[in-house]
Structure 1
């Protein structure tokens, strides 16, 4: 099947993958919203502490401890939500879990919207993190299970596009309301999160269940109906063949588990991720995903507070913030063209190299930026280059690598572990970052880039030696490559068809 044929014959699957993945917009929206409020005049006045300068000037500042608390609140709720999602999605299916999460989301937003103190806001952020944890991983596993091989990379990476879309919308809302001197300047951005709930609930209810999920539950007739719903009329006659291949792959993985005396039922699926060949897969998906944070994203991806500390006025800060999110959105779209031409490993490693380089340059310019205004803009320029590179490479690729590398029988659990590896590292980074950059603490400003350079460089080295190439490999081929313990740098060139036992498996 060519890419054009896949696009032509699987339009329903594309549509439903896009719909389910759209839930990530809400998480992306809030991810930049709360951190951007730290430099927002009205938010600081409502929730910050009063600061009197030596010349008598009064200002308000969200202290380091509350920046840490608010940043950690969402991450903490998300971690809990992600772990529960791995179990709930496998037991109840994608659709039901998403709809229940949307209902809870609606209620938790009331706490955030009507909060009158930073303590109540903190509680609301923790609770909102629970459904966001569900949304963060559901789109990846669902898209990877309903789309054919040719579309798998594009529409698992669309998760990052939705993340960027949410951030772009948030940046636009913040820019439009930065001049508002009332409480609605920060209340309206919170309230806008409600607009996603109803349409997402309706579309999710109408979506078909994943055929892989139905096969794992032994519901073969329902799986066949789902396959037919996910394909065009041109390929309806191939539904039984597709079903047979999916059942064969499922049985192959069950046989691998029986040989190792393993099981994936319930919470035991998480244990399965750390046994046998799955341990290597878990390492890859966790570090590839956590690599997004280790690359310095807490510092550079949402840089409004860094821009404000660099001495730019609020209007310039939020204009740059809006431009940065627009770059991230455009970069994610452009990444699809890279996916069609280059391997996942090539894109990830190359992108990481440039991210490390840009962090080093931002840090080098920190000292001269203290005395030269033009150097501050150069720092901003390198930050935007960092964001564009991130959006072109490791941003969307982490989702694709996670979806393709995990074994199908423990995909929900693997995706959840990968996402929580990201969340745990992100939690640490949100605790550390305010103390590094806030004037009342270390006040490193641009030198903060050196800290993240120290985490990004080892991750670059790891990706070169440990990240395998999954492009153009079926799930069955990947199962066999991991089973044979093929080195990461040989995944692309290893010829499975040269082995008679592989061809015998296909004939079976």
Structure 2
């Protein structure tokens, strides 16, 4: 790994702190609209980087929905006389569903090391090129093993996309825009899922292999669109500061901030240098994966990991885009795919409502807690309703409840699962914090995706709606964890979060605790930094 350079000592810390304090004050005083006007290009590039996640969102529901797809099931499944239909076994459903997740797990780990060495831009572009090649395998697959290999390889770049989007957004944007653009990654996920749902609904009646090959082929559109755009994207200024390349960091900030920005490039850069210095010298934050599990960073890693994994423990694999569940409770193929499109539309609506009516007024902790508790209640109701499955309307009622669950999920945990890991990690470990958090999500997803087919498949446990009791319980346990361990990060700069964690402030007192990070700068220090 490249050795980080120490900035050339030319400017006394007190002079640096003056500019940094100005930037810190402006962060707190700026409204969302002021931040938008001053950071138009930062918003644009953050949107473009996160657009890579559209492809992972698209693929996430593709295979899961293909299991109920007549032509796909006929090609890759086996005939079940008792059910008079073709089905993939629960084992192959679990294997194929987790193929991309396994690849993404290792892709994310690689991303943490590669970004630390080369930066986010070159790693992102290389991943887009790699994905373009791997897609040939899934498109031309004629058997289950080949399809599985293709999904695993495609997972590698998807792991890069999922961990780069929120990290890049948190590094190029001011505090006022941070929750919106880190959760924009989640919106991209939903856009991908909505596109996939529309494509699947439109092709379900095609009586040939093209009914599932065309959805695979459409994934080539995104690399062709994004590669020429992202070639011109600026590198993260935080990465350049960590490498001691302050002149390059200044140039990057000049491309990201508008002339009308309420704080100068120098002041923004000063706050970055001061925060990096504080972590490097006072908090002694290293940049290895091992550091994530030591000292103060252990707590930050726990919060990032469990808040992201909470998306799965809240019932995501079961209740979100649950076409296979709809099929097993007796809904027709047309009802199943129509409801799937409606569910994705509700997810999109939930995200927009969260941005407009929830995030501006409520803290991250409050939203996460109430969202998790509400989803737990909905899942328990789905389980209770399964007692009356002899009534034809019960299956439809359970399906509608999963749509309500989807709306609540995107109103709360679906957004914050992406935002919180990008906020709670130290700046020198941000990329690796997001990576480990996302990998915790992947591990939890693999476990859930292995269990879910067995819970629902008529050739396995076949418990159908009673599955709601399983995920209702895991959701409730996550709510209890969040009540005691999840802190409030709203309206806190990265330097302030450093101090709150270093002082070991309890999670329930983060919001009201007053901290002045600049009082900790001792006037008798003779450490010097260079910004010019």
The TM-score, its normalising length taken from structure 1, stands at 0.95
Unaligned runs of 5+ in 1: none
* Residue matched to 2:387: 367
Structure 2 Cα separation of the partners of residues 257 and 84 of structure 1: 26
When the two chains are superposed, the root-mean-square deviation of aligned CA atoms in Å is 1.8
Deviation at 1:124, TM superposition (A): 0.5
Q: Please tell me whether the aligned partners of residues 9 and 235 of structure 1 are also in contact (alpha carbons under 8 angstroms).
A: yes
Q: 2:434 aligns with which of 409, 415, 426?
A: 415
Q: Please tell me whether the aligned partners of residues 295 and 455 of structure 1 are also in contact (alpha carbons under 8 angstroms).
A: yes
Structure 2 Cα separation of the partners of residues 303 and 50 of structure 1: 22
1:329-383 deviations in Å (ceiling 9; x for gaps):
1111211121111000000001001000000000000121x21112222111211
Deviation at 1:503, TM superposition (A): 9.5
1:278 aligns with 2:301: no
* Residue matched to 1:3: 32
* Residue matched to 1:23: 52
Deviation at 1:256, TM superposition (A): 2.9
Q: 2:286 aligns with which of 263, 271, 292?
A: 263
Q: Please tell me whether the aligned partners of residues 237 and 253 of structure 2 are also in contact (alpha carbons under 8 angstroms).
A: yes
Structure 1 Cα separation of the partners of residues 263 and 204 of structure 2: 57
Q: Helix, strand or coil: the match of 1:232?
A: coil
* Residue matched to 1:13: 42
Deviation at 1:451, TM superposition (A): 1.1
Q: Please tell me whether the aligned partners of residues 285 and 405 of structure 1 are also in contact (alpha carbons under 8 angstroms).
A: yes
* Residue matched to 1:302: 321
Q: Please tell me whether the aligned partners of residues 228 and 236 of structure 1 are also in contact (alpha carbons under 8 angstroms).
A: no
Structure 1 residues 362, 234: closer, same or farther in 2, change over 3 A? same
Structure 2 Cα separation of the partners of residues 194 and 505 of structure 1: 59
Matches of residues 283-432 of structure 1 in structure 2 within 5 Å? 283-337=302-356, 338-368=358-388, 370-432=389-451
Structure 2 Cα separation of the partners of residues 273 and 492 of structure 1: 24
* Residue matched to 2:77: 48
Q: 2:211 aligns with which of 145, 168, 185?
A: 185
Q: Please tell me whether the aligned partners of residues 355 and 389 of structure 1 are also in contact (alpha carbons under 8 angstroms).
A: yes
1:251 aligns with 2:271: no
Say how many residue pairs are matched.
497
Deviation at 1:257, TM superposition (A): 4.3
Structure 2 Cα separation of the partners of residues 241 and 456 of structure 1: 43
Structure 1 residues 493, 237: closer, same or farther in 2, change over 3 A? closer
Higher relative contact order, structure no. (Cα contacts within 8 Å, ≥ 6 residues apart): 2
Structure 1 residues 108, 505: closer, same or farther in 2, change over 3 A? farther
Runs of 4+ in 1 over 4 A off after TM superposition: 502-506
Structure 2 Cα separation of the partners of residues 183 and 8 of structure 1: 49
Q: Please tell me whether the aligned partners of residues 349 and 463 of structure 1 are also in contact (alpha carbons under 8 angstroms).
A: yes
Q: Helix, strand or coil: the match of 2:79?
A: strand
1:489 aligns with 2:508: yes
Matches of residues 115-154 of structure 1 in structure 2 within 5 Å? 115-154=141-180
Structure 2 Cα separation of the partners of residues 415 and 10 of structure 1: 23
Q: 1:109 aligns with which of 135, 138, 155?
A: 135
* Residue matched to 2:14: none
* Residue matched to 1:87: 113
Structure 1 Cα separation of the partners of residues 328 and 61 of structure 2: 17
Structure 1 Cα separation of the partners of residues 518 and 446 of structure 2: 46
Deviation at 1:80, TM superposition (A): 0.6
Deviation at 1:233, TM superposition (A): 2.1
Q: Please tell me whether the aligned partners of residues 180 and 355 of structure 2 are also in contact (alpha carbons under 8 angstroms).
A: yes
1:170 aligns with 2:196: yes
1:100-152 deviations in Å (ceiling 9; x for gaps):
11111011100000001111101101111111110111001100000001100
Q: Helix, strand or coil: the match of 1:273?
A: helix
Deviation at 1:497, TM superposition (A): 3.5
Deviation at 1:176, TM superposition (A): 0.3
Structure 1 Cα separation of the partners of residues 272 and 521 of structure 2: 17
Q: Please tell me whether the aligned partners of residues 257 and 263 of structure 1 are also in contact (alpha carbons under 8 angstroms).
A: no
Deviation at 1:250, TM superposition (A): 0.5
* Residue matched to 1:477: 496
Structure 2 Cα separation of the partners of residues 303 and 173 of structure 1: 16
